[in-house]
Copies of this chain bind each other. A is one copy, B any other.
Amino acid sequence: MSNKRPLILVTNDDGMFAPGIKSLVDVARAFGEVVVVAPNSPQSAKGHAVTLEDPIRINRVDAFDGLEAYECSGTPVDCVKLAKYKVLNGRTIDLCLSGVNHGSNASVNIIYSGTISAAMEASLDNIPSIGFSLLNYSFDADFGPAKVVARKIIASVIENPLRDTQLLNVNIPNVPLDQLKGIKVCRQADGRWVEEFQEGEDPRGQKYYWLTGRFIIEDVKVGTDIHALDNNYVSVVPSGHDLTTYPAIESNSSLEKIRL
């Protein structure tokens, strides 16, 4: 990055008034000019959704002392698009920070995550982007250690630009700072959700289902984010938007023999 004060976009998926984004803004403002564009309501698990069928709105809010901040009626990815094209009107964003998420985005949770999808959206334009998540879902979580982690990773990325990626998925164990053993750069562990819908009847007698579930992880090998986190390391997974499974191109090439 050049010597000028970097322009930093901060967003999240828990909404403008979640403690996690306050922690991230606190850290980010030491590094440059911070502009915040975040959802006006919780947008967890919105994945890479964008709003096509409805208009979206942004409103300037006074959420962070002296900082330009806007709440947006759309998804986390909508926030990044509006930030880029309307709020910042084409100014070059030097860094995009998303989070700190209340809860894990390790393993396959990345594909459901609004936090990481927002960061990925920025990374599509070659903006270095980092999603931070703390392994504690509660509103009252202690973000102190996460702030230290975020400060040091941001400083490092500003000093040494990322290589071969513009997107880091950072997850932080829910332990006091003195129990954090360090940082591991690792791969996404495989995993999946097993769902257990809560069923009920609404006041009109209509049946409903409410999604709940538990996460199943069988891939805890050394080198995975889950292994790092289980051992009190911060996990950093360099990530991207190319979903191609390269070995499968060759191994399924018999499909090319089909005559249409």
Residue ranges of A at the interface with B (Cβ–Cβ < 8 Å): 42, 44-58, 75, 77-78, 81-82, 84-86, 108, 110-112, 117, 120, 124-125, 148-149, 152-153, 156, 160, 162-165, 167-169, 177, 180, 182-188, 190, 192-193, 195-197, 200, 202, 206-211, 234, 236-249, 251-256, 258-260
Contacts and interface: CB of A to CB of B under 8 A. Distances in A.
A21 to B, nearest CB: 18
Contacts of A245: 164-165, 167, 238-240, 242
Given A49-B49, A180-B260, A241-B243, 17 more contacts: A47-B48, A55-B208, A55-B209, A57-B206, A85-B195, A108-B124, A110-B243, A111-B243, A152-B259, A156-B258, A163-B251, A165-B245, A182-B258, A183-B255, A187-B249, A236-B255, A242-B245
Given A164-B251, A240-B245, A86 B197 contact: yes
Contacts of A111: 48, 117, 120, 241, 243
A252 B163 contact: yes
B238 A252 contact: yes
Contacts of A239: 243-245
Contact of A182 (B58, B238, B260): B260
A121 to B, nearest CB: 9
Nearest to A58: B209
A186 B196 CA distance: 37
Contacts of A256: 182-185
B162 A252 contact: yes
21 contacts: A48-B49, A49-B112, A55-B200, A55-B210, A56-B209, A111-B117, A125-B192, A152-B258, A152-B259, A153-B258, A156-B255, A156-B258, A160-B254, A164-B247, A177-B260, A182-B260, A183-B255, A183-B258, A187-B242, A236-B255, A240-B248
